[in-house]
Structure 1
């Protein structure tokens, strides 16, 4: 009978050791899964910011002609189609606004409001001088946002690598 108790004790000890090793293995697997989940989320965020950056670059390219000093060079330009480029950007910016929170407010919301107001004026004018004025204002707003977006995208890329 004593042998049975000894064998039972040994089996219990071995079972405890095996359970402890399995628990450690499970914890390691859970940590790896958490790390992979964080990397996937960061990769998604990076992709969203790269998409936004692409739309911003397209809008800037579309509005560069309005930054020219000679408003007569705009003859034949379709400023409404150029406005659509900027609209595409600001709508996506509004969608991804959570990346641009700060203590002083949301930069994305402020830029959205600013460009949207300028676009309303831009689309409703016919004089090439006013088109140039509003177009230049929109271009300057887009260009001033570019470094903020680039910084956020770079931070997100660096965070993904960790």
Structure 2
């Protein structure tokens, strides 16, 4: 009887060892799957950020064209018939939009998007309330130059996000 018990014990030990090896292999596969899932999640997040930064770049280009109607190159004849209140409203919406996406522009304690929003607020009011050509042009130029100065930061971040997604 002891021979059967010995064989059963040996077979049981082999089965336990086999089960442990199988569990170890499956745990490795699960770890690899978790790592792949985390990698895919990170890539999805980076692609979403790229889309958002691209939208900010596109909106910045668009709003520069809108502001240029009252910007540095405008004159009295070009300004005739231009509704500065509508332009001010577009700039206000742009300011809200970039503030919403400002988390992408944080570099240590400096945030260029939030800075631009804060700088635009008084100019939006001035443009909206401007009556004379000089007031309209002055407010328009200030807004134009501030947004134009922000453009390189948007472009740089957009390029970095594109490169980051391309290397993943």
TM-score between both structures, scaled by the size of structure 1: 0.93
Q: Which residue of 1 aligns with 2:129?
A: 124
Partners of 1:137 and 1:114 lie apart in 2 by: 10
Which residues of structure 2 form unaligned runs of 5+?
none
Deviation at 1:150, TM superposition (A): 1.0
Deviation at 1:103, TM superposition (A): 4.0
Q: Which residue of 2 aligns with 1:80?
A: 85
Q: Which residue of 1 aligns with 2:41?
A: 37
Equivalent in 65, 68, 71 of residue 73 of structure 2: 68
Q: Which residue of 1 aligns with 2:147?
A: 142
Equivalent in 157, 161, 164 of residue 156 of structure 1: 161
Aligned length: 162
Check the 8 A contact 2:68/2:74 in 1, yes or no.
no
**Cα–Cα, structure 1 residues 76 and 69, in superposed 2: closer, same or farther, change >3 Å?**
closer
Q: Which residue of 1 aligns with 2:27?
A: 23
Equivalent in 9, 13, 18 of residue 17 of structure 2: 13
The ranges of structure 1 where at least 4 consecutive aligned residues each deviate by more than 6 angstroms after the TM superposition are: none
- The RMSD of aligned alpha carbons is 1.4
The structure whose Rg is larger is 2
